Structure 1
Amino acid sequence: MAKSKYVSNKNETIPLFKNSFLEYFSHIHPITPVVVYVPVLLICAYFGFQRVPVVNGILAYLAGILLWTLTEYIIHRWVFHYEPKTETGKKIHFLVHGIHHDYPRDATRLVMPLLVSIPLAAFFFYLYMLAFGNYYLIIFSGFVLGYVSYDSIHYATHHINLKGKFGSFLRSYHLRHHYEDEHTAYGVSTPLWDYIFRTVPSYLLDLKKVPDIELDKEDNNKAKA
């Protein structure tokens, strides 16, 4: 992806579509993935664990979470950061991910819209049904938990002063991707695959190298809530 010419540090946005229907659904409240997908993953886990031994089910659940982290990395690196050559391709890319790099603190476009996430969830559900036999419900549940965690972490890195070693690391790590080098640190929920594919930044946790983004009053109130 070409380096953005403009990067806003405010919680602001721009319209993407002239069509009011599309524009409305391009915005999404950050709690939406939790409300929509937590019931899905709980139902899948409940019925899934009735089909297989408990220990095997736990291992399959962990495999589903791990599978999400790999999917997250692949999509972020090779789909969101694909560099199109045509003008049409560049416009589509801006709609998909470019706007997030120009307006990284836009709270209404930080998590995936349902018009995108629901078809993707259905695709992976049927794919896992074909691939994993009796384990597909458990693996899918772990996969969805990974996705919900990713969206929640992604929102938090942009709008909450995360505390503790792990929280501050994730925030620093993702902001490094935005403000230093967008060709490293593709992992949001974990740096695991960055290490494996050698896209981890050359140094870590050097907070002096990450711009100090002050949270506005509204965000601070949310962080304290």
Structure 2
Amino acid sequence: MVAQGFTVDLTKPLVFQVGHLGEAYEEWVHQPIVSKDGPRFFASDFWESLTRTVWWAIPTIWLPVVCWFVFMSYRMGHSPSELALMVGGGVVLWTLIEYTLHRFLFHIKTKSYWANTFHYLIHGCHHKHPMDGLRLVFPPAATAILCIPFWNLVRLISTPSTTPAIFAGGLLGYVMYDCTHYYLHHGQPAKDPARGLKRYHLNHHFRIQNKGFGITSPLWDHIFGTLPPAKTNGKRS
């Protein structure tokens, strides 16, 4: 595609190309290429390897961490029923964070070189290549970094003994989010609610990208009025 005199060469590493699109980046990144073969991001094999993650790495790495943090609150005297409530609250908190990040950060409009580059790395690549199976889940290193502000947020709204379990619930919510996201793109659910959720998410990708920000649930889309309309005139909003 030619934009502002610049052509993106899909046969070469993309990350340091897309910034040159300027204001045309927004249109370019929302014209998906439906292929299971993902593009190359970096010329360096090391940096390229950090961008690719198999889906099963997410539960394998993070579910033991979830269990450990639940056990921390258990050792501080909380009963199983209390732990269940705290973990459930953490999951709900995650769904709000998931919605907020997706709506206000992942879909921020950019036009400068570095803003375009940053957006492409965190989410634009997923809209451009929605079937790239190795870039559907967050790399563990990035998740570990994001756990730090999330832990501090939970500390602000909870007590020392409840913080670990609520944090564990949020982390569990994240694991559910990433696994669900992968399944919605590569699974073939035969029954609702999974079938409806897949339809809901693919609608976000291929019909109206500024609605339907929930992945694990459309709950917050209902609450904040970002449900996609039942029918459109066939044009992308």
Q: TM-score range by the shorter chain?
A: 0.7 to 0.9
Aligned to 1:23: 48
The one-letter amino acid paired with 1:2 is: E
Do the aligned partners of residues 59 and 104 (structure 1) sit closer, same or farther apart at CA in structure 2, a change above 3 Å counting? same
The one-letter amino acid paired with 1:174 is: H
Query: 2:162 is paired with a residue of what secondary structure?
Result: helix
Q: Residues of 2 paired with 1:105 and 1:24: CA distance?
A: 18
| Bigger share in helix | 1
Pick from 181, 202, 218: which aligns with 1:175?
202
Task: Please state how far the C-alpha of 1:130 moved relative to its aligned partner.
Answer: 4.6
Aligned pair 1:43/2:85, yes or no? no
Task: Please state how far the C-alpha of 1:56 moved relative to its aligned partner.
Answer: 3.1
Alignment map for 1:201-216 (pairs within 5 Å): 201-203=228-230
Aligned pair 1:121/2:162, yes or no? no
Query: 2:131 is paired with a residue of what secondary structure?
Result: coil
Q: Would the aligned equivalents of 2:88 and 2:169 in 1 still touch at CA under 8 Å?
A: yes
Q: Alignment length, in residue pairs?
A: 205
Q: Residues of 2 paired with 1:5 and 1:114: CA distance?
A: 26
Alignment map for 1:7-156 (pairs within 5 Å): 7-51=32-76, 52-133=78-159, 134-156=161-183
The one-letter amino acid paired with 2:88 is: L
Task: Please state how far the C-alpha of 1:28 moved relative to its aligned partner.
Answer: 0.6
CA-to-partner distance for each residue in 1:125-145, whole Å, 9 max, x for gaps?
Answer: 243235412111110111111
- Of 116-125 and 30-39, deviating more is 116-125
Do the aligned partners of residues 5 and 169 (structure 1) sit closer, same or farther apart at CA in structure 2, a change above 3 Å counting? closer
Q: Residues of 2 paired with 1:84 and 1:113: CA distance?
A: 23
The one-letter amino acid paired with 2:209 is: E
Aligned pair 1:2/2:2, yes or no? no
Q: TM-score, normalised by structure 2?
A: 0.81
Aligned to 1:222: none
Between the aligned residues of both structures, percent identity stands at: 30
Aligned to 1:215: none
Aligned pair 1:192/2:219, yes or no? yes
Q: Structure 2: 5+ residue runs without aligned partners?
A: 1-24
Q: Would the aligned equivalents of 2:74 and 2:83 in 1 still touch at CA under 8 Å?
A: yes
Q: Which has the larger radius of gyration?
A: 2
- Of 27-36 and 9-18, deviating more is 9-18
Q: TM-score, normalised by structure 1?
A: 0.85
Q: Would the aligned equivalents of 2:26 and 2:110 in 1 still touch at CA under 8 Å?
A: no
The one-letter amino acid paired with 2:26 is: A
Q: Structure 1: 5+ residue runs without aligned partners?
A: 210-225
**How large is the Cα RMSD of the aligned pairs?**
1.8
Query: 2:209 is paired with a residue of what secondary structure?
Result: coil
